[in-house]
Amino acid sequence: MDERTRADVERAEAVIVEHYPRLVRLAYLVLPPSMGRHRRVLTAHGLVQRALPRATRRRPARGLPAQRGPAPESGYDQVRLRILRLALAHESRPGPGLPAVPVVWGLRLFPRAGGIDELGLEQALSAVPAVVRAALGLWHLEGLDEDAARAVLERAGAEDPDAAQRAAEQLDRETVTGAAALLNSGEFDPCTVQTRPTDLLRRRQRVRAAVALAAVAAIGAVVAAVPGGDDRPAPAATAAQQALDPARLLRTPNEQWADTSRVDFTAWPARGRQAGDRELLGRALRVWAAPPDGTRITATAGTSTRPPGHPPQLLYAGLIDNVMVVVLYDGERLVRYAEPEDATPTLHLARVDAADVTTAAGLVIGRGNGWMRYLLAPWISDVAVRDLLAPDNPPHGLHVAPDGVTDRIPTPPPAGAGCGRWPVAQFRPSTRLGGSTPAFLLADLDDLVPVHLTSGPPASGGAQGAGPHEATDPAALRTWARTACSLGALRGAGVRTVNDWAFAEQSLPEGGGRATWLCTRADTWRGPGSVTVRFLPPADRPADPGRVAGRAASTATCGRFGPQVVGDVNWRARSGRWYLLAAGGGPVAGLDATGGVRATAGATTLAAPAPGSAARAEVVGRLRDGRTVRALRP
């Protein structure tokens, strides 16, 4: 082996040892938060440990010495680049082909819990691609400027480093406390971890089971050695088999939700009268792992139906309307197992990674013809029902059983049955959360988890307090009355939140009153979002839906990374004259119309005479930074 190659490897090893905590923190930041903190910690350590390059054999060089060139990269730069490539690759192809991680048995590892600011940053990071997290890490953990960070991202294989840096800059501005301070806190330090046993109460049974298993394996080995014996290998307790053991189900203490910075499904205790029924729990786990013929399986969009890879957490087991129900959570998905009398079981799976205090506030525990029941999170103090189509009517309270199950709640009308009412639930969090979380609305859209309804502009510009707010004030309720019926089109789509944003108001020509331009954005648990732009002229009925001016799917429009929006319609005044009306929101500073109507405006609204209802115009919004955005089409 060439001496120089050996020196390079030794230098890289010294770099890893010297800067190990710094490199692991960077890898931990770039890895997908959806992995869960335990596996993310182990994977970050695994990536850094595998970043040591291998020595290669080379023939001794002969002839003239090479000319002098630029100084080679430092060993630290090379190691960091290798770690970034591995971490970025993990998002696109997790699993085989990537470095193995250290193995820890019987313990869960996680960094020290931070405060509400750290939790907010963690949730924001989970919503952006790995390359954006990498850009943020190169700035705040590595101290690189934009040019140096761009060069590192390009060498690491990032497709669009400039776009990643813009998204990172946007996220950085929206972090009130400052991303630099938060990323250097204990919440993001995978080298200073806390440990928690996965199965403390049943460790003794596990040891006995392990001894028994070893005995079975030994007997199997003896039998296999006997001539004419069965050639099949002896049984072994695989991770998949352990995941099907009801004795290994994780159970959270009843009051943990009030003493943790992570208020989501991990803080739910195990509830229900059958929470100790191992036969029922075992059946639920086995059906999940290998559904028998006839089992009805429902999975929301983007949700995997794979069996559990580790013992899941038990949330509920009990009798709901003559149906045995078990609810499990594996850190990424909720699984509801329903066992009706004299009927085949059903499974309903829903993706719920990165849930928070509102989106983990309840789940649908039972459903019937025209009604449903919620199982409430332990931090919900009371729940009421209100009709979105009657914004002035007060909500009426709902009884909740001691195990967190509500009375029956009417469901919205099915497709094709009209839209005379739209019931939603109004949740009020416990004051033990600090009193900072107001009441909020959740709507049932036929999924396992209800949809969080909000109102207001998307978070942008870094202003403190900016972003959607809870849709419980009178103005938000009046807006939702006009869009509630459109929620039916989102049934079963795995929607997480729906936000109504009144992005512009416009005085109509010829004294026609004031109209509102509304952008309704639906974000899914898997990431992509869709938008609908509505033109809402004055109406006699509170629930008048107005007109759809534009739609778009898989778009950032009206969201935190794309707050700009433009819409236009042809509108007829009482005199019979037609007008082109247009409006822009967010950073839109002016509007231009070409084609069937030619007009320009130096404001966020435009009104110009049109030759008729069929006049087609191309409307473009001018942004403050010089870019343009086209109006959405219906």
**Binning pLDDT at 50, 70 and 90, where does residue 97 land?**
very low
Q: Averaged over 520-543, what is the pLDDT? A: 94
What pLDDT score does 196 carry?
61
Is pLDDT of 206 > 60? no
Neighbours of 227 (CB within 10 A): 4
- Look at 120-134, 184-198, 508-522 and tell me which has the smallest mean pLDDT: 184-198
- Look at 27-41, 63-77, 218-232 and tell me which has the smallest mean pLDDT: 218-232
What pLDDT score does 423 carry?
97
**Binning pLDDT at 50, 70 and 90, where does residue 78 land?**
confident
The residue among 6 and 429 whose pLDDT is bigger is 429
What pLDDT score does 397 carry?
94
Average model confidence (pLDDT) for the chain?
Answer: 84
What pLDDT score does 64 carry?
39
Of the candidates 455, 441, 474, the residue with the CA atom closest to the CA atom of residue 361: 441
**Binning pLDDT at 50, 70 and 90, where does residue 122 land?**
confident
Is pLDDT of 69 > 80? no
Q: How is residue 309 annotated by DSSP?
A: S
- As a dihedral over the C-alpha atoms of residue 509, residue 510, residue 514, residue 519, rounded to 10 degrees, the angle is -30
Alpha-carbon Rg for the chain in angstroms: 29
To which H or E segment does residue 537 belong? none
Q: How far is CA 451 from CA 262, 358, 400, 495, 497, in A?
A: 20, 9, 20, 6, 5
Q: Per DSSP, what are the bridge partners of residue 363?
A: 375
What pLDDT score does 110 carry?
66
Is pLDDT of 489 > 50? yes
What pLDDT score does 51 carry?
78
Report the share of the chain in percent with pLDDT over 90: 53
pLDDT digits (tens, 9 = 90+) for 259-298: 888 899 999 999 999 999 999 999 999 999 999 888 999 9
Is pLDDT of 377 > 50? yes
- Look at 42-46, 409-413, 506-510, 536-540 and tell me which has the smallest mean pLDDT: 42-46
What pLDDT score does 578 carry?
96
Q: Averaged over 173-198, what is the pLDDT? A: 73
Q: Which two tokens stand for residue 41?
A: 């910690």
pLDDT digits (tens, 9 = 90+) for 210-240: 444 444 344 344 334 444 434 333 344 567 7
Domain ranges for the chain, please list them. Answer: 3-59+70-195, 203-237, 246-355
What pLDDT score does 115 carry?
60
Three-class DSSP category at 620: strand
